Every structure is written in C-alpha cells, then in structure tokens.
Chains A and B, each alone.
Chain A
Amino acid sequence: DAKTTQPNSMESNEEEPVHLPCNHSTISGTDYIHWYRQLPSQGPEYVIHGLTSNVNNRMASLAIAEDRKSSTLILHRATLRDAAVYYCILRYTGTASKLTFGTGTRLQVTL
C-alpha cells in the first residue's frame, strides 16, 4: 500500500477554517484519496474521498494537488465537535479492499 504522511497534531480555534495536510508522494494512478475521522470513543467516520479533482460535501472539502502527491482536507468552520483524529488513506480502486490506517492527525479545537 502506498504510504501517507500527516502531522501528528494540529490546533484550531472554533469557527476558524482548518486545513489538514497529507503527503502521498508514492500515490499511483489507481489510488483514491480517502479521509476518515475518529471522534473519541467512537468508530471511524467517512468524511470524503477523491481521485484528481477537488471535492466538496456537507462535511468538508478535499483539495488535491495537480501532481496528486499531496492533498488537503478543509473544514470550513471548525466546531468543538470536529475535535478528532483525521486519517488520510490511499485506496486502490480496483476491487473492494481493506483500508490501511496510519497514525493520523489529532485535531484540537479550542474556544
């Protein structure tokens, strides 16, 4: 599996935008970029995914670099409920397959 690199932790103020970076320099053309988050004492939650183009949904936006070697998850207005560990995962598009979680970025949101 191609590897991703994320900062261990980040802090944000409530109601400010948050940009969570992810490097994936060995990404292949068939890898989708997936983001999940895990709130305390809960299971992981799907956030967003994309291949080449930027993506938006009700939770977040995903900005993908032109060379696809990095991406950024954007939370437009962080709230206290967004405090979680955020995981950037590459997923092979060929068949249904496992997700391989790294250590993720622990996001702290303060008032």
Chain B
Amino acid sequence: NAGVMQNPRHLVRRRGQEARLRCSPMKGHSHVYWYRQLPEEGLKFMVYLQKENIIDESGMPKERFSAEFPKEGPSILRIQQVVRGDSAAYFCASSPTGRVSDYGYTFGSGTRLTVV
C-alpha cells in the first residue's frame, strides 16, 4: 500500500522559471494538504484541497502560487516566476474522508526546491 508520493524529490529552477510539484495521495484519500518548510524553520500550512475544490488557501501567497487537485491525477502545486525565497521543502499530506477522530495524516517525503 503505497504512501503519499511526491515528485520530484529534488527540483532546481532558475529565477523566473515555473516549478510544478506533484502529490499523489494515499489510495482512498480524498483530502490533500500542502506545507512549506523554509531552511531551519517549522512547517507552514499553505492550502487544503479536496477533489476539484480548494477548501482552505489561507496560507498561500497571494501571487505566483496556485494549487489544484483534479478529479483524475495528482495534486499539483505550481509556483510561477520563482525567486530565491521560494527555495524550501514542500510537503504534501493526505487524509481520508470520515471522522477526523479516527486517523492521523500521512505525509510524503517532500520536494526540495532550489532556486538558483
């Protein structure tokens, strides 16, 4: 039973390019969460999505960042016109539908974005 799959593991982009980060949730999980972790800092919530819907994007920067979770395929976090400050580890987590008291979240291994 595969866990949360994120790819690529490492991504290098030049300033001004676009970065696309992918997250495939665990089988049967319909909720996806994206987090960002800057070097030597804690995890910051970015966005929470269900299939085809953005539920909570209170942590997303207002510009250049977008996320989607289509009916088919992985969730995508897109960063346009990357800048050096976007260099960070981006983690995705998934959870099933149902009583929240019954489970924890499962996280992927993350994508480490380096902007040069």
Contacts and interface: CB of A to CB of B under 8 A. Distances in A.
Given A43-B109, A43-B110, A101 B42 contact: yes
Contact of A100 (B31, B45, B101, B104): B45
A98 B106 contact: no
B109 to A, nearest CB: 5
Given A32-B100, A36-B104, A43-B91, A97 B43 contact: no
Interface in B57-116: 59, 91, 93, 95, 97, 99-101, 104-110
Nearest to A101: B43
A34 interface: yes
Interface residues of B, number: 25
Contacts of A104: 42
A47 to B, nearest CB: 8
Contacts of A100: 45
Contacts of B48: 96-98
A46 B56 contact: no
Contacts of A98: 33, 45, 48, 56, 59
Among all A-B residue pairs, the 3 with the closest Cβ atoms: A46-B104, A43-B107, A101-B43
